[in-house]
Structure 1
Amino acid sequence: MNSDIKSLLQRSRFSDLYWIFPLMLLILTSPAHAYIGPGAGFALLSSLFTLFLSFLIAFFSLLFLPLRLLFSFLQSGKGYASAKVKRIVILGFDGLDPDLCEDFMQQGLLPHFAKLKQTGSFKRLRTTCPPLSPVAWSSFATGVNPAKHRIFDFLHRNPNTYLPELSSVKTSKPNKYLRMGTVQIPLGRSRVKILQKSRPFWKILGQHGIFSQIIRVPITFPPEKFNGHLLSAMCTPDLLGTQGSFTFYSSDKNHIETFTSGAGLLLEKNQTDYKGFFIGPENSFLKGWPSITLGFDLFVEKDGAVIETNHRKYRIKKGRLTPWIPLTFRTGFGLKIHGICQMLLKTTEPAIQLYVSPIHIHPERPAMPISYPCYYAVYLAKLYGSYATLGLAEDTWALNEGILGEDDFLDQVYQYQKEREQQLFHILKKNRRGLAACVFDAADRIQHAFFRYIDETHPAFKNGNRRSKNAIRDVYQVMDGVLGRVLKVVRQDTLLLVLSDHGFKSFRRGINVNSWLHQNGYLFLKENKNKNSYLQNVDWCKTTAYAIGLAGIYINRKGREKQGIVETENVEPLKKKLVKDLVGLTDPETNESAIRAVYNFEQINQGPYASEAPDLIVGYNPGYRISWDGAIGITTETVFEDNVKSWSGDHGIDPEQVPGVLFSNYKIQEHSPHIMDIAPTILSLFGIKKPEYMDGRELHMFN
């Protein structure tokens, strides 16, 4: 048995806890919490309490339903009094590219998009700088630039430690505990806080009596109270508190390795089966926060295997993803934490190879709120069964690492697509007024993974099977099919908007910006130190600039960074010098210009949080992006390198090169709309004055 697993098991035993069980009974009326980590973890609310609370709220909701309906009717009458439309439907297709849309429409492959273009509008939708999903969708929701909503990237660096932090969510453990031996009782609450500032437009709609239903719009975790229903999306963690960590099991120790976003564990052979363990959340009731483990037995059969866990058996067919399998982790004292996962049995000979997806929060028994109201996730699961809850659900890292095959990945993507379609058409059926918005991720994930098949110059280009070669074309046709079904159910008095947050381009070559900074005298390394990730080998006493994340360069400012050395009066001259040195940077292997522009963040985005943002945003030319090592702060010997991973398409480049799309069944007068324009436009169409702080403009639309 793996020694790390043995250690986890030993620390997770509860034989010494029986004597405090009476004490636990006294606190079961309060939420029980556990923190899930490491690093990017979140506060885990006891699923027992969450489920109890959900049904308690549901009971009182039903009890007061007549009064609520009457109040809602009176309020909605006022809310729609000045409205130009009674209903708005928004379809978000993350990453849909205008160039590819035009190409496929000309080929006759997207008849419903073509019809919408002919009878309504089709515009290129300008995006944010940088053109990254959390940034762009935050501007969509709030109508403001990044300096006002405070989302600048997927990651944000801590100026005190220089370590990366999740940009959208902050978590904190309880400050005090009652400790008795190895047992600890949290005396406070773990907290999870959304870091996005400003207000989503659906909250403003709700304040004016307009009901909204929001399904999987990014940067909605944790869910906030408003007049409507919401299912959280991007940045919703898995049960380990990460943004998605798979596990790969094998009976051959030679197959076990370290993965970027996953773990490799060895299966132990017995006479009749193999034994292994699922690694679950950390246990906040034990000193040291050891991970909770859940054992399983794997019995090999002719065409697959049977896995037994939680006293239940599940059949796994070789080469096929399983349906959702529930997992229950026990913290002790009768408390349980519920998750769901999928499994794929890759081989049984000569060695077993088993993929287990990231463990999602169970939607029927959520370990923490993933919807508003908190019972809404449960309600959808009761109607349609379990569904993906992880923010970045499609396991692109397992594909990158070669654990998932291309067909397996596509099967996973389309399963989640089908789940989302059920949720979309449910909300379209249930409400005939107000706002309905749903975002689909399939186009983004498939373009990230399969762009190398439409770019023969890509280092990872290969002649794959027909499904892989046509994957991008096929996902655009799937989106067209969804649009066609929506067009059948929307009425003439409904405004339909179809949009994406950015487009896509090939990602052939990576640039390690920190390596360039090091070679050009901006960043210095400590002597005799290994080149670790997250800038841990940087000599901050000499360094004037550093990069972390997908697009940003930070000045090591005195008074802002803990070890900052650049005086305030020297910041702007240093920025100008960096811009001059970086723009037009030539790739010595291809002789191409790799960087199109470098933007001074405070010049293009004004707001109260501009000082927290990267000082400069690098606008790469198509074909280039920050390298994989560069994104996590590793300084390598070379600046340029081939991108040979499956992840071959990207949008972390100059925003002018990757606009999104905006289709509408109404005519749009403006020639060049921006994603920030959507929020004030929707408010205006419902008769609500645009708040003065919004940067977006009201688009002029007519039917």
Structure 2
Amino acid sequence: MPVNNLLKKEEELRLPLTITINEDRNSALLEVSGQRFRLKTNTFSAWIKLTFRPGLGMKIKAIARFYVSQIHPHFEMYLTPLNIDPEKPALPISHPFIYSVYLAKLRGSYITLGEANDTWALNEGALSEEAFLELTYSNHKEWEDMLFNAIDKTRKGLVTCVFETTDSIQHMFWRYLDKDHPALKGNQSVMSSRVIEELYLKMDELVGKVLERLDNKSTLIIMSDHGFKSFRRGVNLNSWLYLNGYLSLKDEKKTSEEWFKDVDWEKTRVYALGLGGIYFNQKGREAKGIIDSGEESRALKRELKEKLNGLKDSEKNSVAINDIFDRDELPPGPYKENCPDLIVGYNEGYRVSWDSVTGKVNQTVFEDNTKAWSGDHCIDPRIVPGILFSTRKINTDNPSIMDIAPTALELFGLETPPHMDGCSLIIKQDDSSNQNDKKEKQE
């Protein structure tokens, strides 16, 4: 829930909600923010407008959807995460600011969260697989409608739309393509292995609808920033660092709760955070840093790369880590100083464990992933390439995501700035060989 920052002591903003169960126990009447609506079991509501009043006459508008999963013997209901109301946004969610309002007036309320599909609701059992798919495809339909509106109203220019659907569904249903996945052994309903195939049939249908709206002068580019692999086993890097003497705990403890609660920073040299990052407890950067940024840091990198490269999961007799990437060996960039000191390239079937992501430490390095989130791409990027489709022929067999911006610029007759990475993919009669030469040099 949103926090009321107007109070001296911050409190959650709350709304009264009344639920009246029908006598036949197959529906419930909900009353909230001056609205009354009836919901049958296993049915999503439309977007419901919610008004929070923090004080001083202020109103904060949000939207959400309700889902009653069970009425008897116990009432169970799911509420989507709160979304900023696009018709009356509390914060800018579009540019220009009025664009979100225009879309809301045109088609009604729509999802505005950046991470739209609630994968954790399925992970934690708050939604069934069927309900998750229904909600996800409902969000997808909203994006489709907005894309078609933009294409139809843009006579000349650039239209871009990101569909989260393929990412969310593959994360959550990949286990049905992997007969050895640990998540299949839990108490989960048996879903058809066709869920992902059906997803791509829907996406193919979308491509056809888009092509129908384009003339022969238009260029359509379809791309993804990654592929997918099975996520069977988690690697707790913090546990490995602890067991190998790089991370220390207070008071002779053997475990630490999330966010490094029991870590002794005065003795810790290395820690892991996020989906593949290893950080040094560096002087002048971390609050209680103990590692110098010079030769001490370089020697520590060499040591860790030697030990972690090819790290073996003895229980499964397989390699968990393909490679360790050094930040200092990456190409330059404006935010390179925020990059982890080392980046872990996991092998297929592995990813950082759920505990390690949030800084938990325990005695277990390798563990089965039994969550519905069973497919992933936060591994060695060389084994999860994305895809690129184009209605124009391109000038290389090895396109990069960095080539998309230069390609768009060239399509509009604009020069690519010297500081921009990548090359245009457009084939030119006179210099197609030069483009390939430039790309080979960059690689």
TM-score between the two structures when normalised by the length of structure 2: 0.93
SS at match of 1:293: coil
8 Å Cα contact 2:176/2:191 also seen in 1: no
The yes-or-no answer on 1:694 pairing with 2:415 is no
In structure 2, the residue matched to 1:680 is 406
Work out which of the residue numbers 383, 393, 396 in structure 2 matches 1:667: 393
SS at match of 2:398: coil
Partner amino acid for 2:267? K
Q: For each residue in 1:205-241, what CA deviation from the matched residue of structure 2 results, as whole angstroms up to 9, or x when unmatched?
A: xxxxxxxxxxxxxxxxxxxxxxxxxxxxxxxxxxxxx
**Distance (Å, rounded) in 2 between the aligned partners of 1:512 and 1:690:** 43
The yes-or-no answer on 1:283 pairing with 2:4 is yes
Work out which of the residue numbers 271, 289, 303 in structure 2 matches 1:564: 289
Q: Closer, same or farther in 2 for the Cα pair 1:566/1:363, shift >3 Å?
A: same
**Distance (Å, rounded) in 1 between the aligned partners of 2:315 and 2:63:** 46
**Distance (Å, rounded) in 2 between the aligned partners of 1:557 and 1:286:** 38
Segments of 5+ residues of structure 1 without an aligned counterpart are 1-279
Shift of 1:285: 2.1
SS at match of 1:340: strand
Q: For each residue in 1:649-701, what CA deviation from the matched residue of structure 2 results, as whole angstroms up to 9, or x when unmatched?
A: 00000000011000001001211011111111211221211112112122233
**Distance (Å, rounded) in 2 between the aligned partners of 1:601 and 1:484:** 42
In structure 2, the residue matched to 1:644 is 370
Q: For each residue in 1:140-169, what CA deviation from the matched residue of structure 2 results, as whole angstroms up to 9, or x when unmatched?
A: xxxxxxxxxxxxxxxxxxxxxxxxxxxxxx
In structure 2, the residue matched to 1:591 is 317
**Distance (Å, rounded) in 1 between the aligned partners of 2:203 and 2:333:** 36
Shift of 1:587: 0.5
Partner amino acid for 1:333? L
After superposition, residues 77-88 of structure 1 pair within 5 angstroms as none
In structure 2, the residue matched to 1:300 is 21
Shift of 1:559: 2.0
**Distance (Å, rounded) in 1 between the aligned partners of 2:355 and 2:189:** 30
Q: For each residue in 1:32-55, what CA deviation from the matched residue of structure 2 results, as whole angstroms up to 9, or x when unmatched?
A: xxxxxxxxxxxxxxxxxxxxxxxx
**Distance (Å, rounded) in 1 between the aligned partners of 2:192 and 2:360:** 32
Work out which of the residue numbers 117, 133, 140 in structure 2 matches 1:410: 133
Q: For each residue in 1:71-121, what CA deviation from the matched residue of structure 2 results, as whole angstroms up to 9, or x when unmatched?
A: xxxxxxxxxxxxxxxxxxxxxxxxxxxxxxxxxxxxxxxxxxxxxxxxxxx
Shift of 1:464: 7.0
The yes-or-no answer on 1:496 pairing with 2:220 is yes
Shift of 1:344: 1.2
8 Å Cα contact 1:496/1:665 also seen in 2: yes
8 Å Cα contact 2:182/2:370 also seen in 1: yes
In structure 2, the residue matched to 1:605 is 331
**Distance (Å, rounded) in 2 between the aligned partners of 1:420 and 1:321:** 18
Shift of 1:610: 2.0
**Distance (Å, rounded) in 1 between the aligned partners of 2:166 and 2:337:** 34
The yes-or-no answer on 1:514 pairing with 2:238 is yes
Partner amino acid for 1:412? L
**Distance (Å, rounded) in 2 between the aligned partners of 1:498 and 1:701:** 18
Work out which of the residue numbers 537, 544, 553 in structure 1 matches 2:262: 537
Partner amino acid for 2:140? Q
SS at match of 1:434: coil
8 Å Cα contact 1:556/1:564 also seen in 2: yes
In structure 1, the residue matched to 2:159 is 436
After superposition, residues 198-597 of structure 1 pair within 5 angstroms as 280-301=1-22, 302=24, 303-461=26-184, 468-529=192-253, 531-567=256-292, 568-597=294-323
8 Å Cα contact 1:450/1:468 also seen in 2: no
Structure 1 or 2: more strand by fraction? 1
Shift of 1:426: 0.2
Q: For each residue in 1:357-395, what CA deviation from the matched residue of structure 2 results, as whole angstroms up to 9, or x when unmatched?
A: 111111111111100111110110111111110111111
**Distance (Å, rounded) in 2 between the aligned partners of 1:608 and 1:446:** 33
Shift of 1:290: 1.6
How many residues were matched structurally?
424
Shift of 1:332: 2.5
**Distance (Å, rounded) in 1 between the aligned partners of 2:61 and 2:208:** 37
Q: Which has the larger displacement, 683-692 or 408-417?
A: 683-692
| Structure 1 ranges of 4+ moved more than 4 A | 462-468
In structure 1, the residue matched to 2:432 is none
Q: Which has the higher contact order (CA 8 A, sep 6+)?
A: 1
**Distance (Å, rounded) in 2 between the aligned partners of 1:401 and 1:464:** 12
In structure 1, the residue matched to 2:434 is none
In structure 2, the residue matched to 1:192 is none
**Distance (Å, rounded) in 2 between the aligned partners of 1:489 and 1:526:** 63
Q: Closer, same or farther in 2 for the Cα pair 1:464/1:637, shift >3 Å?
A: closer
Q: Which has the larger displacement, 439-448 or 603-612?
A: 603-612
8 Å Cα contact 1:360/1:388 also seen in 2: yes
**Distance (Å, rounded) in 2 between the aligned partners of 1:429 and 1:378:** 18
Shift of 1:528: 5.0
Shift of 1:613: 1.1
8 Å Cα contact 1:406/1:468 also seen in 2: no
8 Å Cα contact 1:666/1:702 also seen in 2: no
Partner amino acid for 2:138? Q
Partner amino acid for 1:491? D
Q: Closer, same or farther in 2 for the Cα pair 1:342/1:702, shift >3 Å?
A: farther
SS at match of 1:436: coil
SS at match of 1:469: coil
Partner amino acid for 1:283? N
Shift of 1:648: 0.2
In structure 1, the residue matched to 2:358 is 632
**Distance (Å, rounded) in 2 between the aligned partners of 1:281 and 1:550:** 27
**Distance (Å, rounded) in 2 between the aligned partners of 1:572 and 1:483:** 49
Q: For each residue in 1:553-596, what CA deviation from the matched residue of structure 2 results, as whole angstroms up to 9, or x when unmatched?
A: 01122222221111222111111111110011110110000000
**Distance (Å, rounded) in 1 between the aligned partners of 2:193 and 2:30:** 34
